Structure 1
Amino acid sequence: MDPTRLIDAVIDREGGYVDHPADPGGATRWGITEATARADGYGGDMRLLSRARAAAIYARVYWQRPGFDQLAVRAPALAAELFDTGVNMGPAGAIGFLQRALNALNRGASDYPDIALDGRLGPASFAAVDAFLRTRGRTGETVLLKAVEALQGERYLSLAERRPADEAFLYGWLVNRIG
């Protein structure tokens, strides 16, 4: 699966330069935070971060590094969702949702063993995905997607409840990131 379409959709949705006073992440361009750009070696003004540089960061940091490219071979729709969730919440959070769902859906570890909730896609997580999809068949990926989105939606609501400033973002999160 080529992530170009996914990356373009995120960049289009995130827009150009934003520095919302309620966003603790600070200034962003194309959805890339200043901290992420700096960690990638970008030293310029965030207003000038090119779309191409942002796309390269998304491909490297949010698609390849977490292993979503490897997941896409098994479950492309799930990989696309985790990429999008990872952009918004961090890849480890997105992977954590998947790991929680896999553990809850393994029927008391009778289908495959529980996996560590470590926020990393490694051999145990991939083996669990493979076993789940093999056991559940065609509807398996859809069910995993629903479980991940349910966890994501609950996280957004919790954020808004704990930090009232996040209410400014809740509607957009639910419209753009769920379903």
Structure 2
Amino acid sequence: MDISTLIDEVIAREGGYSDHPADRGGATHFGITQAVARANGYAGHMKALPRAAAETIYRQLYWESPGYDMIAQIAPSVAAEMFDTGVNMGTPTATGFLQRALNALNRNQKDYPDLKADRVVGAKTLAALRSFLALRGKPGEVVLLKALEALQGERYLALAESRPANEAFLYGWLANRIG
């Protein structure tokens, strides 16, 4: 799956303009928050955010900048999951999930060394991913995706438990982002 398709899917899932009172992100359009839009040069009203601007932001901030394009060369389905999680929770969180999962799946460092969970895709993270998939193959990729989604689901529950206003979003997060 290519990044254009992933962006189309995220925009379809996120929808158009929204300014939900319980959403700490405030006004959003195509899933892009006003703060992110402003930080990327957009000064207009969020209702008028051009789709092309949202697509550029998604491609640059949530695909290329965190290195998910490099993950896609190794494991496209993992990169797709990282992109979606990064859009919803931030790319450092998504990358941290990958590093934690790879560490937990390395059989006490028998397969490859533990990673520093620095939440940055670098050469060591990519090498660990390659090693894991070389040993485990396609079934391993499925297991890795399950681990990533388990971490994501746990975070959603924790967000709802720590801030009751987030319960307004929990059902949708679980329905649209897990599995």
For the criterion TM > 0.5, the same-fold answer is yes
Please give the alpha-carbon distance, in whole angstroms, between the structure 1 residues aligned to 2:21 and 2:79.
Answer: 32
Q: Hey, what does 1:139 align to over in structure 2?
A: 139
Match of 1:63 in 2: 63
- Letter paired with 1:73: Q
Q: Matches of 1:138 and 1:84 in 2, distance apart?
A: 21
Report how far residue 2 of structure 1 moved: 2.5
Aligned pairs for 1:112-131 within 5 A: 112-131=112-131
Moved over 4 A (4+): none
Distance in 2, Cα, partners of 1:37 & 1:121 = 24
Distance 1:80 1:22 in 2: 28
Structure 2 residue matching 1:100: 3-state secondary structure? helix
Structure 1 equivalent of residue 53 of structure 2: 53
Structure 2 counterpart of 1:9, one-letter code:
E
Aligned-pair distance for 1:137?
1.6
CA distance in 2, matches of 1:65, 1:107: 30
- Partners of 2:97 and 2:16 in 1: how far apart? 29
2:66 aligns to what SS in structure 1? coil
**Which amino acid is 1:164 matched to?**
P
1:1-179 → structure 2 map (5 Å cutoff): 2-179=2-179
Distance 1:153 1:18 in 2: 23
Question: How far does residue 52 in structure 1 lie from its aligned partner after superposition?
Answer: 1.0
Give the Cα separation in 1 of the matches to 2:51 and 2:27: 15
Unaligned runs of 5+ in 1: none
In 2, Cα distance between the equivalents of 1:80 and 1:74?
12
**1:58-93 C-alpha deviation (Å, 9 max, x unpaired):** 011101111111100100001001100000000110
**What is the distance in 1 between the residues matched to 2:30 and 2:137?**
37
1:25 maps to a residue whose letter is G
CA distance in 1: counterparts of 2:68 and 2:140, whole angstroms:
18
Give the whole-Å Cα distance in 1 for the aligned partners of 2:150 and 2:2. Answer: 26
Q: Structure 2 CA distance, aligned partners of 1:56 and 1:38?
A: 13
SS in 2 for 1:42: coil
- The alignment-based identity, stated in percent, is 65
TM-score (norm 1): 0.98
Alpha-carbon distance, 1:176 to partner: 0.3
Within 1, Cα distance between the matches of 2:164 and 2:37? 27
Q: Which runs of 5+ in 2 are unaligned?
A: none
How many angstroms does 1:158 deviate by?
Answer: 0.6
